[in-house]
Amino acid sequence: MELKNESGRLCPEGELTIYSAAECKDALLAALEESDGLEIDLGSVTEIDTAGVQLLILLKSEAKRAGKTLTLSRHSAAVIDLTELFNLAGWFGDPLVIPAER
Amino acid sequence: MSTMSEALQTFLAESRGLLEAMEEGLLKLEEIPDDSEAINSVFRAAHTIKGSAGLFGFDEIVAFTHEAESVLDKVRDGELALSEAMIGLFLSCRDHLSHLLDLLASDSDADDETRQRGDALVAQLSACLGGAGSRSMPVEQEAVFHREGGDGAQGDAWHVSVRFGRDVMKNGLDPASFIRYLGTLGQLSHVETVFDAMPPAHEMDPEECYLGFEIRFHGEVDKTEIESVFEFVREDCELRILPPGSKLSEYLQLIHELPEEDLLLGDLLVRSGAITRRELEEGLAVQGQESTSDEAAPPLGEILVERQAVQTELVDAALAKQKDVRQRQSQEARFIRVHADKLDSMINLVGELVIASAGVGLIAGRNKDAAMMEAVSEMARLVEDIRDGAMRLRMVEIGETFNRFRRVVRDVSKELGKDIELIISGADTELDKSVVERIGDPLTHLVRNAMDHGIESAETRIARGKPARGSLRLNAYHESGSVVIEVGDDGGGLSRERIVAKAQEKGLIEDAQGLSDAEVWNLIFEPGFSTSDAVSNLSGRGVGMDVVKRNIEALRGTVEIESRAGSGSTFRIRLPLTLAIIDGFLMAVGEGHYVVPLDMVLECVELGEGRSSDEPDYINLRGEVLPLLRLREHFGLEGPVVRRHNVVVVQWGGRKAGLVVDELEGELQAVIKPLGRIFAGLRGLSGSTILGSGEVALVLDVAQLLEHARLREAEAVSAVSVGRTSERTANAMTG
């Protein structure tokens, strides 16, 4: 997975899965620590598994605990699919844009 | 990550095993259509493949297997009768699945042809169901819930509570896929993700799983089916399932048992619609009272059991089932999968050990140290045991290979419109794994040929006074250090005239005068013999027989034919038992050492003194003419000539010959090392081995040498007059 870091905006690319979970965790947590408000653009996540979702949960909880805002945006189809399966969209609280054709 | 691909490998291996079981079951059903054991095994195979494929998210396999399973389910319940056409259909489904697995293994996508075939099969399957649709279609469900009291919890949904173990993801399994798969069995009406177990960020290991799920699930399934969804993580997750119509108290117990805080869980359950807020509050309050009013309050479970006697039975049943599963698992554990490479490297080492121990034995003998020699002989015995044990590890029963032919025979006989029965015997005969793997193709060829050209059509058979049903025999047995595999039929047998005519036409022989039957039969193995028109005019069973022979010879084996006009023919393949280590008999000629496999040695006799090399090469061995082969001349050896020679009588494939050597050196264990490529053209040698002294000995290829001796014998018989022969053999006897 590649991380494109613009200020306050992270754009993970490719897989967000168990294979990349360890490096992602460090990168994402570090980014969250540095900023007050972070946006994670999920538009380029082609594949996500339970480990990936779990990581997003961790980030969200961590942000809440530290009083920071963490926004997830531009969810890709794969992310929406799993978020819905786990019924976590409400908990994450970020607007989901569901593509017209699925 | 390697764990994932390992899990996939396991899946593929298991599924292939299941497909084999499925085929076996189906073929059995063809003979005994109402064999419930066989129906069950076919159903189980389909069900398990579907389940495991679901876990890996192989939707195509799941969807396809599901259709087949639905029909099988109806068959199992006796709602559908199993017709011959349906067995054929299921066999095609099995082939399709096997093809899908192959695609998966090669990591490629299904092409259009595959898809079309799959669709066609699905259409046929649903036709079997009378278009009623498959099992998981939401079916109008009768109200099965029996609620106690009027508390209005949702009674018609299963409640599945699962907490995944930490290592699930590391083991290559994705919790999401279990839930997705559960979704395919029915409808997930509500999922709540529980992640309270997740530690603070710095302690959290992103490769561990901290999640749990509370799931409301609608579907016409039973508890075992839901449990089987989680089969792969059974050891690695906490699973609680409440059936539809569970009592409020059971939900309270669930709340109580789960690791999370009661109130929080209660909230979850309320949200998932399992219970109402009011029920929760009342329930928790009652529980609280009970525990405060009496210090030694009975555990909740007990209360529940007291209140509902039915629960104990359920518990007992569950326990019994668990025990059953555990027993089955322990039985499965009697087999372990070992990578073939590991086995090979071990056998290699054992080979080195054999050589080394021979070296030790030699030194001990030279030093004449009695205690040492005793210790060495003890060690040699152990090494021998290890060697035998190691070789046995590689041995597999040929039965599995034979069983594959049930299908071949079935399909080909349908294709040809002949009724043919396959009779298998000697299925427990063991031979080396590498040999088993490579004997499949030649056998298939022989079996097909026997069915195509050997066994006559039913009309011809009846006209010839034979039973209409033809029979094909596959047999295997051990014989003097080799394994014999027979493919026999009760057909018309080979026609000598036609083969001779064909061979003459092809220019293989001038005329058949003086050719024995066996020699004529062997003509069909000649490369030029097989042509396509040979198939149609029954002149022989030509198709690719030269390839069959080459394949068998590559395994150091031989093939012979026995045929009787009108009553069938038998192809007899003779293969060496193992390819790596043998018990050998060591001999010396000149300065070189030679080894023959001990199993082939019949006896040793002394040859009369002073017989020079220009005398004919045969002796009279107790009234039998024994052709001799002088190794010295055969290999063109030099070196000091000894006065007395010895004859080692060897046997292979029913033929005998005497090898004339200088010295007999006794038995040894020989680790056969292949000869290099440059020696490939050398006839009569099959390998080399290293002696304890460090010298090299050559392993003789007895089959080839015997062939040579036979030719010499034929020459000798035609060249020498009968009177001279008897005179000389008499000489040999007295000398």
Contact B335, B343 (CB under 8 A): no
Would you state the pLDDT for residue B334? Answer: 65
- The Cα–Cα gap between B495 and B504 comes to 14
A88 to chain B: which residues are within 8 Å by CB? 193
Helix (H) or strand (E) holding B668: strand B663-671
Would you state the pLDDT for residue B476? Answer: 92
What is the nearest CA distance from B339 to chain A, expressed in angstroms? 26
Per-residue pLDDT tens for B447-488?
Answer: 888 888 888 888 888 888 888 888 999 999 887 667 899 999
Would you state the pLDDT for residue A34? Answer: 82
Residue of A nearest to B183 (CA): A85
Q: Indicate the pLDDT class of residue B306, thresholds 50, 70 and 90.
A: very low
Helical axes B112-128 vs B59-76, angle rounded to 10° = 20
Helical axes B300-307 vs B248-257, angle rounded to 10° = 160
**Closest residue by Cα to residue B201 from A4, A72, A80, A27:** A27
Furthest C-alpha separation in chain A: 38
B183 to chain A: which residues are within 8 Å by CB? 85
DSSP-derived secondary structure for B523-546:
GGGSGGG--HHHHHT-S---TTHH
Q: What percent of chain B has pLDDT over 70?
A: 76
CB pairs under 8 A between A and B: 65
B179 to chain A: which residues are within 8 Å by CB? 85-86
- The Cα–Cα gap between B93 and B69 comes to 11
Residue of A nearest to B171 (CA): A18
Select from B176, B191, B204 the Cβ nearest to the Cβ of A50.
Answer: B176
- The Cα–Cα gap between B271 and B275 comes to 8
Would you state the pLDDT for residue B267? Answer: 67
- What average pLDDT score do residues B571-575 get? 89
Residue B107: how many CA atoms within 13 Å on its side-chain side?
3
CATH number of A2-92: 3.30.750.24
Would you state the pLDDT for residue B107? Answer: 77
- What average pLDDT score do residues B353-368 get? 83
- What average pLDDT score do residues B306-317 get? 48
Q: Does A9 touch chain B (CB under 8 A)?
A: no
Q: Does A27 touch chain B (CB under 8 A)?
A: no
DSSP-derived secondary structure for A26-74:
HHHHHHHHH-SEEEEE-TTEEEE-HHHHHHHHHHHHHHHHHT-EEEEES
Select from B176, B198, B204 the Cβ nearest to the Cβ of A85.
Answer: B176
Residue of B nearest to A17 (CA): B207
Q: What percent of chain B has pLDDT over 90?
A: 3
Q: Does B3 touch chain A (CB under 8 A)?
A: no
Beta strand B624-630 pairing with B482-489: unpaired
Q: What percent of chain A has pLDDT over 70?
A: 87
Would you state the pLDDT for residue B684? Answer: 79
Q: Does A66 touch chain B (CB under 8 A)?
A: no
Q: Which H, E and C letters describe B611-652, residue by residue?
A: CCCCCCCEEEECCEEEEEEEHHHHCCCCCCCCCCCEEEEEEE
Give me the interface pTM, i.e. the ipTM.
Answer: 0.88
Per-residue pLDDT tens for B578-596?
Answer: 666 677 899 988 888 999 8
- Yes or no, beta carbons of B213 and A86 under 8 Å apart: yes
Would you state the pLDDT for residue B541? Answer: 42
Would you state the pLDDT for residue B154? Answer: 46
- What average pLDDT score do residues B186-196 get? 83
Q: Indicate the pLDDT class of residue B332, thresholds 50, 70 and 90.
A: low
Would you state the pLDDT for residue B305? Answer: 45
Q: Indicate the pLDDT class of residue B277, thresholds 50, 70 and 90.
A: low
Would you state the pLDDT for residue B292? Answer: 45
Q: What is the mean pLDDT of chain B?
A: 76
Edge to edge, the sheet with strand B470-479 lists B420-425, B470-479, B482-489, B568-576, B558-564
- What average pLDDT score do residues B281-300 get? 51
Would you state the pLDDT for residue B725? Answer: 44
Contact B423, B487 (CB under 8 A): no
Would you state the pLDDT for residue B294? Answer: 42
Per-residue pLDDT tens for B376-409?
Answer: 889 888 988 887 788 778 788 888 888 888 888 8
- The Cα–Cα gap between B57 and B333 comes to 27
**Closest residue by Cα to residue B443 from B492, B394, B488:** B488
Please tell me whether residue B477 adopts helix, strand or coil conformation.
Answer: strand
Looking at residue B536, its amino acid is S
Looking at residue B550, its amino acid is R
Q: Does B270 touch chain A (CB under 8 A)?
A: no
B204 to chain A: which residues are within 8 Å by CB? 25, 58
- Yes or no, beta carbons of A86 and B1 under 8 Å apart: no
Structure tokens at B245: 């119509």
Would you state the pLDDT for residue A98? Answer: 67
Best mean pLDDT range from B299-313, B327-341, B513-527, B712-726: B513-527
Contact B312, B302 (CB under 8 A): no
- Where do the domains of chain A lie? 2-92
